[in-house]
Amino acid sequence: MGEVQKGLFSVIEKLKGNAELELRIVLLGLDNAGKTTLLKQLASEDVNTITPTQGFNIKSVASHGMKLNVWDIGGQRKIRTFWKKYLENTDLLIYVIDSADKKRFEETGMELSELIDEENLKGVPVLIFANKQDLATASPASEIAEGLNLHTYRDREWQIQACSAVSGEGVQDGMNWISNYIVHKKK
């Protein structure tokens, strides 16, 4: 059954006959981390009218000749249980952290390590955005990387990028990493 399904859907997928390279990116992180702001920043939309996400947002962004389908799923605790329904066929995980919310570093670390263990995200590269660097109380990206034990990740590519989703600073650097990684992988 499972195999038949896969076969049929790969057929349908090919039906679309996409000339350009399409990537499915899932954007996760705790509530108030800045996922939707980041998404809107990526899509060059207004970032001033963002409310807590109850469901999920999707934006298709053209970047480096690729089409990035970015799925931003609400981060509130009660919604996190739904995250795993969105992980299938994911090419890349973007994980957003509020660098100024030190009290919840542990919580965000737990959520990240749970994601890393997900079968559907096996070997999927992770880009971590150490967001809200515009705030004076923000921890530097290197400190967060250490706290998350990123150096122990051996089974996948990872990158941590300091940024401010509100101002857009650092966001493009993260996207460059994605395109570099993809180019290397596909060639």
Partner 1 sequence: MAEDTEWVVESIAGYLGSPEWTIPVADFMENKCTVFDDEDENKLTYTEIHQQYKELVEKLLENYMQEVGINEQQFLHACSSPFAKSKTLQAVFQPVLATDDFQMFRSLMVQKNMELQLQALRMIKERNGALPDCLVDGVDVMSELEQQEMRILQEVLKRSKEEYDLEMARHVQFEEEVGTTSSSCSIDSMPNGMSLKEAVQVQVSSASKVSTVATQKGEKRSAVPPTRDKEQQSPAKLSPALAANLPSEMGSECGKTLPAVRVPPKASAAPTMPRENSSGQAAQSWLEEAHKEAGISKPFAELSAAQQEQLQQRALYLRQQRDKLHALKKEQRPKQATPEDVPAAPTPAPGSQEGVPKKTVGPSTVNPSQPVSNNGQKPKEISVEEKKKLQKRKHLAEKLKEEVIKK
The annotated binding site for Mg(2+) is made up of: 36, 53
Name the active-site residue from 5, 54, 76, 172.
76
Strands (E), 1-148: 21-28, 56-63, 66-73, 92-98, 126-131
| Residue 86 touching partner 1 (CB under 8 A) | yes
* Total binding residues toward partner 1, as defined by CB under 8 A: 24
**Letter for the amino acid at 179?**
S
Least distance in angstroms from the C-beta of 86 to partner 1 = 7
What is the Cβ-side half-sphere exposure of residue 115, based on CA atoms within 13 angstroms?
Answer: 33
Question: Which of 2, 48, 54, 119 forms a contact with partner 1 (CB under 8 A)?
Answer: 54
Residues 141, 99, 94: CA angle, nearest 5 degrees? 75
| Residue 79 touching partner 1 (CB under 8 A) | yes
Least distance in angstroms from the C-beta of 140 to partner 1 = 33
Residue 82 to residue 56: CA distance in whole angstroms = 10
- Is 76 considered catalytic here? yes
Cβ 100 vs Cβ 139: under 8 Å: yes
Residue 139 to residue 99: CA distance in whole angstroms = 5
Least distance in angstroms from the C-beta of 147 to partner 1 = 30
Give the residue with the Cβ less far from partner 1, 53 or 172: 53
Q: 14 to 33, contacts with partner 1 by CB under 8 A?
A: 14-17
Residues at the annotated binding site for GTP? Answer: 29-36, 75, 131-134
Give the DSSP letter of residue 44. T
| Residue 83 touching partner 1 (CB under 8 A) | no
Give the residue with the Cβ less far from partner 1, 23 or 100: 23
- C-beta neighbour count of 171 within 10 angstroms: 19
Please name which of 148, 146, 149, 145 lies closest in space to residue 161, comparing C-alpha atoms: 145
Least distance in angstroms from the C-beta of 47 to partner 1 = 14
- Binding residues for partner 1, rule: CB under 8 A, are 4-5, 7-9, 11-17, 53-58, 60, 74, 79, 82, 85-86
